[in-house]
């Protein structure tokens, strides 16, 4: 994910030279022809402030007439105004350079409070300043240029001096208002957008047209599991058996792997293409590959299994419609994957996949050849892991168990030929199990939502955003809005598996080339959406969470990593709102701490804003995950957005 750089104004530049400011006042002055000595007022501070009928402003040291409620220069309120409201003309309001607003304050007439306490002035039931000057709007009057200008009118009981001032300045206000009416705001897509709701959205006809009868449905399949369980090897072998990796390429991988002393990693190298991944022998980012089964066009999302790379796994696997959980059947390896407190990634990946909204899962029990295709070992794994999957929310009818061996090519695309396995297993092979899955509902009747998983440079030098369409549809030439910056762009081209298409619908995993936008504004974690239905951007959220197995309780102020779709942001727990009963949902008082297996409603304050929607409006943008110290500590949903960002 591209690193976010927050840059702001440098307030130190140009403000450290204090010699530019002259603090030496020259009190030599001349009396002006009009008889009003303006400079003499400043030179007589402390002497004339006590003169009868004058009060000294404590802020700007300006001498004001005692009838003024506030300072003519800075607007500071006079704390004690015994003569305020008496009909007396303030000379300063006539001849000084005080603003028109301060003059109007000086000329407002109001009943004098009979108390010296300022608090009593504002708590008094008598009409006060703010009740007197509350404006109302008269009908617009023509300013002589064919434009209409709104004129502020004072209440009926306002003073005669205020009304006369309004009449005198009417000719000034009207042209000013006319000029303001002629101003046009920037046509920014966010701030001047239509306030539309999803119920007002009407999809275009081409969006509702079904694909041809010979077109395969797309299925996004995440491959997850503990490190070294054989996920990349399984994916590479599937691609090779289905013809997506040629014999020539496979021979090249085998040769290169043997030269580096990693002959068993040959199939994994079909997925792990970077030198760092091949050197370390682990998948570091989510690798995407494609193959066709009898029923589906499958998008394979090979996820990293190392505990330090779970954020990468979250970013990629959130696109999944279903998952394959790969388990190492060898003695000790399965138990390591089931270890708690963030060490065993079998547990953590299963919890995360379920919180992604995935309801169907295939458990691929790999390396059965190591345990001699033992039925007892398979049943032990099934009983242990099955109980945990049910606790995560998976139903027994949605779990498919497939014993296999990737190295010996047993039970992958065809039924097993090894007697040790076929003697007791009569179920699906892995490919048939994938075809038995059901695709979730694809909603094209809602506005476009395309969370950006990655931003890449194409071979033609263009910039493309990759991700899965959650709702809606797009076609070449469509106008879209790229959030959170709110930049408008145009869809130039759409690709799936390096093949160009004219359109894409909900559920499709695509790479869209954008034009009319700076490439630096398209970042992983952003969202491409309909221009009239922009995503909300916020950093203060209310979450309903389920705390996982944790060793350290969650407190108010706890620092967390906040994950939502493909975005990650630092934050903290701002407030404990309530504790929930997991069975009944009954709400109890706010707890002081949260322990493992507890459900609660909390508020989270993020350091930076993210694209987000309430779960009730968008499930894809409403699922959240909290991590701390390299461990997932809670999963949940966004129930409310408490503070919106512009």
The least confident of 105-119, 282-296, 405-419, 442-456 is: 105-119
Are the C-beta atoms of residues 368 and 329 closer than 8 Å to each other?
yes
Q: Which SS3 state, helix, strand or coil, does residue 38 take?
A: helix
Are the C-beta atoms of residues 177 and 149 closer than 8 Å to each other?
yes
Compare 173 and 484 and report the one with higher pLDDT: 484
Which pLDDT does position 263 carry in this prediction? 75
Which residues lie closer than 8 Å to 621 by C-beta, 6 or more apart?
A: 449, 451, 470, 527, 535, 564, 565, 611, 612, 613, 638
My answer on whether omega of the bond before 467 falls inside 30° of 0, hence cis, is: no
Compare 361 and 93 and report the one with higher pLDDT: 361
**Reported confidence tier of residue 342, pLDDT bands at 50, 70, 90:** low
Strands 509-515 and 593-594: unpaired
- Residue 591 in this model has a pLDDT that exceeds 50: yes
- CA-CA distance, 165 to 102, in Å (whole number)? 12
Which residue, chain included where needed, has tokens 């300022």? 118
Burial class (CB in 10 A: 0-12, 13-18, 19+), 109: middle
Q: 147-158 b/e with 16+ CB inside 10 Å = b? A: eebbbeebeeeb
- CA-CA distance, 567 to 620, in Å (whole number)? 12
What is the DSSP annotation of 133-163?
A: S--EEPPPEE-SSS-EE--EE--TTS-HHHH
- What separation in angstroms does the CA of 307 have from each of 85, 97, 209? 74, 69, 43
pLDDT, mean of residues 217-226? 91
pTM over 0.75: no
φ, ψ (nearest 5 deg) of residue 247: -65, -35
Which pLDDT does position 211 carry in this prediction? 62
Compare 480 and 154 and report the one with higher pLDDT: 480
- Residue 132 in this model has a pLDDT that exceeds 70: no
Strands 399-403 and 361-366: parallel
The 10s digit of each residue's pLDDT in 91-115 is: 443 343 333 333 333 343 333 344 4
Which pLDDT does position 162 carry in this prediction? 42
- Residue 171 in this model has a pLDDT that exceeds 70: no
The 10s digit of each residue's pLDDT in 196-214 is: 666 667 777 667 666 656 6
Cα-based angle 428, 433, 439 (whole degrees, multiple of 5): 155
Which pLDDT does position 646 carry in this prediction? 58
- CA-CA distance, 471 to 474, in Å (whole number)? 10
**First vs last C-alpha separation in the chain:** 23
Which spans in 393-539 are helix H? 419-422, 430-435
pLDDT, mean of residues 436-450? 89
Which pLDDT does position 461 carry in this prediction? 65
| Structure tokens given for 190 | 């966010």
User: In this structure, what is the dihedral angle of CA atoms 581, 585, 588, 590, given to the nearest 10 degrees?
Assistant: 80
φ, ψ (nearest 5 deg) of residue 121: -60, -45
The 10s digit of each residue's pLDDT in 60-82 is: 777 777 777 677 777 777 764 44
DSSP state letter for 639: E
Which pLDDT does position 419 carry in this prediction? 93
| Structure tokens given for 436 | 């038995």
Cα-trace Rg, the chain: 35
Are the C-beta atoms of residues 402 and 431 closer than 8 Å to each other?
no
Which residues lie closer than 8 Å to 279 by C-beta, 6 or more apart?
A: 260
DSSP state letter for 552: S
Which pLDDT does position 79 carry in this prediction? 60
- CA-CA distance, 154 to 169, in Å (whole number)? 13
- CA-CA distance, 230 to 337, in Å (whole number)? 13
**Reported confidence tier of residue 322, pLDDT bands at 50, 70, 90:** very high
Query: Which helix (H) or strand (E) segment is 555 a member of?
Result: strand 554-555
Strand partners, 588: 579
| Structure tokens given for 118 | 């300022």
* Residue 416, Ramachandran bin (φ over 0: left; ψ between -120 and 50: alpha; else beta): beta
Residue closest to 639 by CA, chosen among 537, 547, 542, 539: 542
- CA-CA distance, 159 to 335, in Å (whole number)? 87
Query: Which helix (H) or strand (E) segment is 640 a member of?
Result: strand 631-644
What is the DSSP annotation of 265-301?
A: GTTGGGT--SHHHHHHTS--S-EEEEEE-SSEEEEEE
pLDDT, mean of residues 56-62? 77
Are the C-beta atoms of residues 327 and 231 closer than 8 Å to each other?
no
Which pLDDT does position 205 carry in this prediction? 67
Q: Taking all residues of the chain, what is their mean pLDDT, rounded to a whole number?
A: 75
Distance of CA 50 to the CA centre of its chain: 60
- CA-CA distance, 148 to 167, in Å (whole number)? 17
My answer on whether omega of the bond before 484 falls inside 30° of 0, hence cis, is: yes
């Amino acid at each position: 994910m591209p690193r976010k750089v927050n840059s702001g104004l440098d307030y130190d530049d140009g403000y450290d030279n204090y010699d530019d400011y002259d603090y030496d006042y020259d009190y030599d002055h001349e009396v002006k022809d009009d008889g009003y000595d303006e400079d003499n007022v400043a030179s007589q501070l402390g002497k004339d402030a006590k003169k009868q009928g004058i009060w000294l402003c404590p802020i700007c040291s300006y001498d004001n007439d005692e009838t003024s409620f506030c300072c003519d220069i800075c607007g500071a309120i006079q704390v004690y105004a015994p003569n305020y409201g008496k009909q007396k003309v303030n000379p300063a309001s006539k001849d000084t350079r005080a603003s028109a607003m301060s003059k109007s304050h000086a000329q407002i007439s109001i009943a004098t409070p009979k108390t010296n306490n300022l608090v009593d002035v504002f708590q008094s039931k008598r009409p006060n300043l703010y009740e007197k000057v509350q404006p109302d709007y008269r009908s617009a009057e023509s300013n002589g240029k064919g434009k209409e200008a709104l004129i502020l009118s004072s209440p009926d009981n306002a003073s005669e001096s205020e009304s006369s001032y309004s009449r005198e300045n009417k000719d000034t206000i009207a042209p000013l208002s006319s000029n303001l009416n002629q101003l046009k705001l920037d046509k920014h897509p966010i701030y001047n957008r239509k306030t539309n709701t999803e119920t007002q959205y009407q999809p275009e006809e081409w969006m509702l047209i079904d694909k041809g009868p010979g077109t395969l449905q797309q299925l996004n399949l995440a491959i997850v599991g503990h490190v070294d369980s054989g996920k990349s090897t399984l994916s590479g072998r599937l691609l090779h058996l289905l013809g997506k990796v040629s014999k020539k390429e496979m021979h090249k991988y085998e040769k290169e792997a043997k030269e580096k002393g990693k002959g068993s990693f040959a199939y994994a190298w079909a997925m792990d293409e970077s030198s760092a991944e091949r050197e370390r022998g682990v998948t570091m980012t989510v690798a995407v590959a494609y193959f066709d089964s009898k029923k589906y066009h499958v998008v394979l999302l090979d996820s990293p299994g190392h505990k330090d790379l779970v954020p990468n796994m979250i970013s990629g696997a959130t696109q999944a419609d279903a998952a394959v959980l790969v388990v190492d059947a060898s003695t000790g390896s399965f138990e390591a994957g089931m270890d708690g407190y963030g060490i065993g990634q079998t547990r953590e990946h299963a919890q995360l996949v379920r919180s992604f909204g995935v309801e169907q899962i295939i458990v691929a029990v790999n390396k059965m050849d190591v345990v001699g295709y033992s039925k007892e070992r398979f049943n032990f794994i099934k009983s242990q892991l099955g109980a945990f999957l049910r606790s995560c929310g998976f139903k027994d009818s949605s779990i498919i168990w497939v014993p296999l061996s990737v190295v010996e090519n047993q039970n992958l695309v065809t039924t097993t030929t090894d007697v040790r396995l076929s003697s007791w297993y009569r179920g699906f092979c892995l490919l048939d199990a994938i075809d038995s899955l059901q695709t979730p509902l694809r909603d094209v009747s809602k506005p476009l939502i395309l969370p950006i998983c990655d931003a890449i440079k194409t071979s033609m030098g263009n910039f493309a955003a990759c991700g899965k369409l959650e709702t809606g549809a797009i076609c070449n030439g469509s106008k879209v809005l790229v959030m959170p910056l709110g930049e408008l762009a145009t869809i130039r081209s759409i690709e799936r598996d390096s093949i160009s298409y004219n359109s894409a619908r909900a559920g499709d995993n695509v790479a869209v080339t954008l034009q009319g936008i700076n490439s630096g504004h398209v970042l992983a974690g952003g969202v491409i959406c309909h221009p009239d239905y922009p995503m909300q951007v916020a950093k203060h959220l209310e979450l309903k969470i389920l705390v996982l197995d944790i060793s350290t309780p969650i407190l108010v102020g706890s620092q967390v990593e906040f994950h939502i779709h493909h975005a990650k942001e630092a934050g903290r727990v701002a407030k404990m709102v309530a504790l929930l009963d997991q069975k009944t949902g009954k709400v109890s008082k706010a707890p002081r701490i949260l322990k493992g297996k507890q459900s609660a409603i909390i508020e989270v304050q993020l350091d930076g804003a993210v694209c987000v929607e309430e779960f009730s409006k968008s499930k894809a943008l409403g699922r959240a995950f909290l991590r701390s110290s390299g461990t997932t500590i809670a999963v949940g949903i966004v129930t409310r957005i408490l503070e919106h960002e512009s």
